[in-house]
């Protein structure tokens, strides 16, 4: 699905204050490693998502740098602590500078 | 790193992010898909691969399913119609349909599989261009339609006009071919449960297709799998969508009768 990036995120709608919640994300991306040979004997240029960031009400709570050898359509799951109601923003940065984003809201009681 | 202890992980990648190791991700429940001595390919997968299939969120096939669902109600073609115009809600109209293909098409009298059925609706009922084989659109729609039969037993008929196709498929299945001079049955019947190089051989059932193969890093059709299995024994593969492969699909799917539809599955 090279042409159109699709993103799925799963965030619990509600959580108790202080609770650890699991966030799941999936993005459609070829993650071209730069190692694969093309028919002419050269290499397919590298084009991967190299950074993932999750912000919680504007504050970075999870950041990870990605490198070649991550599979296509990468799935990432992680835990954060629910502190307050608000917005979670997810962003994936591509080698070509594009940034793919998605947001979700959560209610904390 | 096991799935149980992992706090954060990227499936298939070599990166393990263990910095938040405070809670545990629950291991998704597996399920049984066996009837008599038939065992779905699921049971030959490693627990790690199974766990990707067990949770629809982890299963990357659903990126395609989402696309299929959107296309379902998208107007396309000269007739100004969408699938939903005639078929309404897929959850109702397509329930069980995917489990019965390939099937004889009443109009043409020919055997068609689900991809061909979808494309015939596009061509004849929507006056839209048929989707290319293995395109994201056709894979997405096929997965979306077959998902409506998930959990139902595969149930294809080989009676009447389907019989000659079944016989043709059976001959194909049992015929040795390629530089390695092997038949499908040589691997999937006689040697199921054994290793062939690094792969554990299953019975080669079709109940999980289209399938997300980790090797392909995308969703793929049953005919793509046939092509791969033909190439592995250095035989000339047929075209996806060819009459040969559709007849073969009928034979293979009839072998799978009774197993639950798992589409879209995840395989190595």
**pLDDT per residue as tens digits for the range B105-145:** 999 999 999 999 999 999 999 999 999 999 999 999 999 99
Contact B9/A at CB under 8 A? yes
Q: With contacts defined as CB-CB under 8 Å, which chain B residues touch A76? A: 8-10, 17
Closest alpha carbon within chain A to B214: A71
Closest alpha carbon within chain B to A22: B25
Q: What is the ipTM of this complex?
A: 0.78
Look at residue B14 in the predicted model and tell me its pLDDT.
Answer: 32
Q: Does the residue B183 lie in any domain?
A: yes
Single residue among B147, B171, B200 that ends a domain in this structure: B147
Among A20, A28, A70, the residue with its CB nearest the CB of B63 is A28
Partners of A100 in beta bridges: A92
Tell me the shortest Cα–Cα distance from A18 to chain B, in angstroms: 13
Domain count for chain B: 2
Q: Are residues B136 and B29 in the same domain?
A: yes
Q: Are residues B173 and B117 in the same domain?
A: no
Q: Are residues B192 and B125 in the same domain?
A: no
Burial of B135 (0-12, 13-18, 19+ CB in 10 A): exposed
Domain that holds residue B36: 3-147
Q: Does the residue A64 lie in any domain?
A: yes
Q: With contacts defined as CB-CB under 8 Å, which chain B residues touch A8? A: 57, 62-63, 66
Give the CATH number of the domain where residue A64 resides: 2.60.40.10
Q: Are residues B117 and B245 in the same domain?
A: no
pLDDT category at B32 given cuts 50, 70, 90 is: confident
Q: Are residues B209 and B130 in the same domain?
A: no
Q: Are B162 and B109 in contact (CB under 8 A)?
A: no
Q: With contacts defined as CB-CB under 8 Å, which chain A residues touch B214? A: 71
Q: Does the residue B30 lie in any domain?
A: yes
What sign does the dihedral B121-B245-B203-B220 (CA atoms) show? Answer: negative
Look at residue A8 in the predicted model and tell me its pLDDT.
Answer: 93
Burial of A96 (0-12, 13-18, 19+ CB in 10 A): exposed
Q: Are residues B186 and B254 in the same domain?
A: yes
Give the CATH number of the domain where residue B71 resides: 1.10.760.10
Using alpha carbons, list the distances in angstroms from residue B181 to B44, B192, B203, B236: 25, 18, 19, 12
Q: Are A94 and A100 in contact (CB under 8 A)?
A: yes
Q: Does the residue B153 lie in any domain?
A: no
Tell me the shortest Cα–Cα distance from B109 to chain A, in angstroms: 35
Q: Does the residue B221 lie in any domain?
A: yes
Domain that holds residue A60: 6-34+50-108
Tell me the shortest Cα–Cα distance from A64 to chain B, in angstroms: 8
Q: Does the residue B155 lie in any domain?
A: no
Single residue among B147, B172, B203 that ends a domain in this structure: B147
Look at residue A4 in the predicted model and tell me its pLDDT.
Answer: 78
Distance of CA B252 to the CA centre of its chain: 12
Domain count for chain A: 1
Q: Does the residue A74 lie in any domain?
A: yes
Distance CA B183, CA B171 (A): 10
pLDDT category at B81 given cuts 50, 70, 90 is: very high
Q: Are residues B10 and B38 in the same domain?
A: yes
Pick out chain A residues at pLDDT < 70.
1-3
Q: Does the residue B164 lie in any domain?
A: yes
pLDDT category at B37 given cuts 50, 70, 90 is: confident
Q: Are residues B142 and B13 in the same domain?
A: yes
Q: Does the residue A44 lie in any domain?
A: no
Q: Which of residues 34-53 of B touch A (CB under 8 A)?
A: 52
């Amino acid at each position: 699905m090279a042409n159109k990036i699709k993103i799925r995120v799963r965030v619990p709608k509600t959580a108790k204050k202080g609770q650890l919640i699991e966030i799941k994300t999936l993005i459609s991306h070829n993650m071209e490693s730069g190692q694969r040979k093309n028919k002419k004997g050269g290499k397919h240029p590298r084009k991967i998502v190299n950074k993932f960031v999750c912000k919680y009400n504007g504050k970075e709570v999870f950041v990870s740098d990605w490198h070649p050898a991550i599979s296509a359509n990468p799935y990432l799951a992680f835990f954060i602590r629910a502190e307050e109601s608000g917005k979670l923003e997810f962003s994936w940065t591509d080698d070509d500078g594009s940034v793919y984003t998605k947001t979700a809201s959560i209610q904390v009681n | 790193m096991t799935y149980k202890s992992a706090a954060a992980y990227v499936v298939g990648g070599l990166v393990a992010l263990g910095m938040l190791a405070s809670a545990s991700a629950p291991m998704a429940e597996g399920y049984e898909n066996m009837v008599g001595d038939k065992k779905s390919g699921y049971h030959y997968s490693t627990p790690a691969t199974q766990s990707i299939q067990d949770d629809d969120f982890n299963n990357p096939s659903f990126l395609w399913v989402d696309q299929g669902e959107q296309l379902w109600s998208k107007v396309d073609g000269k007739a100004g119609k969408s699938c939903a115009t005639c078929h309404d809600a897929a959850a109702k109209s397509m329930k069980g349909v995917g489990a019965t293909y390939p099937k004889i098409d009443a109009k043409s009298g020919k055997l068609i599989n689900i991809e061909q059925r979808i494309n015939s609706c596009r061509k004849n009922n929507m006056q839209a261009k048929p989707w290319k084989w293995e395109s994201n659109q056709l894979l997405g729609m096929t997965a979306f339609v077959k998902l409506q039969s998930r959990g139902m037993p595969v149930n294809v008929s080989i009676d009447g006009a389907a019989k000659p196709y079944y016989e043709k498929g059976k001959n194909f299945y049992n015929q040795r071919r390629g530089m390695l001079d092997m038949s499908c049955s040589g691997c999937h019947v006689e040697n199921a449960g054994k290793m062939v190089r690094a792969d554990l051989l299953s019975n080669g059932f079709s109940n999980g297709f289209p399938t997300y193969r980790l090797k392909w890093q995308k969703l793929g059709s049953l005919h793509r799998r046939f092509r791969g299995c033909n190439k592995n024994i250095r035989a000339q593969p047929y075209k996806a969508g060819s009459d040969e492969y559709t007849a073969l699909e009928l034979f293979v799917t009839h072998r799978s009768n009774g197993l639950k539809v798992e589409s879209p599955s995840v395989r190595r």
